[in-house]
C-alpha cells in the first residue's frame, strides 16, 4: 500500500434539534453555522490536492464534502458504509426519553457500549466492522491525499483503530462539528498528526510550516 494521508472531517453543525438527541441515520441538513464551518475547512484545505474524495451518503456529510471539495465536488464518492451508527427505535429521541422509556436497555448499553444494540439498530461493533471494511478497501487502492467526511461515531471508530484504543473508550475522543483530523498511512503503519482541529478563520494549512507543530495538536492529541 502506497503512502497515503487521510484528511478525516466531521460534518458541520446541523439544524435545530432537541438537546442531547439520538440522531443516528436520520437525514438532517446542515445549519447555517454548519455551512460556515464547511467553508472555513475549504479555505484551510485550499492548498491540498485531493486524489480521492469520500463522504457518507447522508446529506449533512455530502453538503460539507461538496463545500470543501469546491470545483472537485463532481468526483465525490458517497459510501453508505460510512453512515453514522444506526440507532433503530432510539433515533429522534432525547437521552431523557430513552431513560424513561427503555431504562433497562439504557443501563445495559452503558455496561457494554461496544456490543449492545438498541431495538432495530446497530452496536458500535457492528458499525466498526462496516466502517473499517470500507476504509481498508479505500486504503488498499489509494495513494496521496484522501478527503473523507464522516460522522462523530464513524470518525471515532476510525481513530480508535489508528490509536489502538478500545471501542468502549471511543467517547473519550473529541469530534466537534466541522473538525479536522489528519492521519498518515504507510504500509501497515499509521500516525495521527492532527486531532479534532478547528481551522482558524481566514488562514490556510500552507501558512503553518509543519502541521505536526500546531499548538492545537499538542493540546488535543490522544496517546
Active site (catalytic) residues: 11, 84
Q: Which residues have CB under 8 Å from 105's CB, separation 6+?
A: 98, 116, 118, 119
Do 23 and 11 touch, CB atoms closer than 8 A? Answer: no
State how far the Cα of 106 lies from the Cα of 123, in Å rounded to an integer.
13
Residue 153 in 3-state DSSP? helix
Neighbour count for residue 219 (Cβ, 10 Å): 9
Do 128 and 117 touch, CB atoms closer than 8 A? Answer: no
Amino acid at each position: 500500500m502506497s503512502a497515503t494521508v487521510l484528511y478525516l472531517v466531521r460534518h458541520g453543525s446541523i439544524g435545530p434539534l432537541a438537546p442531547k438527541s439520538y440522531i443516528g441515520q436520520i437525514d438532517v441538513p446542515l445549519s447555517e453555522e454548519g455551512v460556515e464551518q464547511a467553508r472555513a475547512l475549504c479555505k484551510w484545505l485550499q492548498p491540498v490536492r485531493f486524489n480521492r474524495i469520500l463522504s457518507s451518503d447522508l446529506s449533512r456529510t455530502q453538503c460539507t464534502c461538496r463545500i470543501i471539495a469546491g470545483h472537485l465536488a463532481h468526483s465525490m464518492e458517497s459510501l453508505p458504509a460510512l453512515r453514522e451508527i444506526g440507532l433503530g427505535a432510539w433515533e429522534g429521541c432525547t437521552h431523557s426519553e430513552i431513560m424513561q422509556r427503555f431504562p433497562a436497555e439504557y443501563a445495559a448499553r452503558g455496561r457494554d457500549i461496544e456490543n449492545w444494540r438498541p431495538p432495530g439498530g446497530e452496536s458500535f461493533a457492528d458499525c466498526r466492522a462496516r466502517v473499517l471494511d470500507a476504509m481498508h478497501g479505500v486504503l488498499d487502492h489509494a495513494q496521496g491525499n484522501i478527503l473523507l467526511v464522516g460522522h462523530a461515531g464513524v470518525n471515532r471508530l476510525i481513530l480508535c483503530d489508528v490509536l489502538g484504543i478500545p471501542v468502549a473508550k471511543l467517547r473519550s475522543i473529541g469530534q466537534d462539528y466541522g473538525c479536522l483530523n489528519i492521519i498518515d498511512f504507510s504500509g501497515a503503519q499509521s500516525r495521527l498528526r492532527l486531532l479534532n482541529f478547528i481551522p482558524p478563520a481566514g488562514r490556510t494549512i500552507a501558512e503553518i510550516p509543519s502541521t505536526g507543530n500546531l499548538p492545537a495538536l499538542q493540546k488535543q492529541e490522544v496517546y
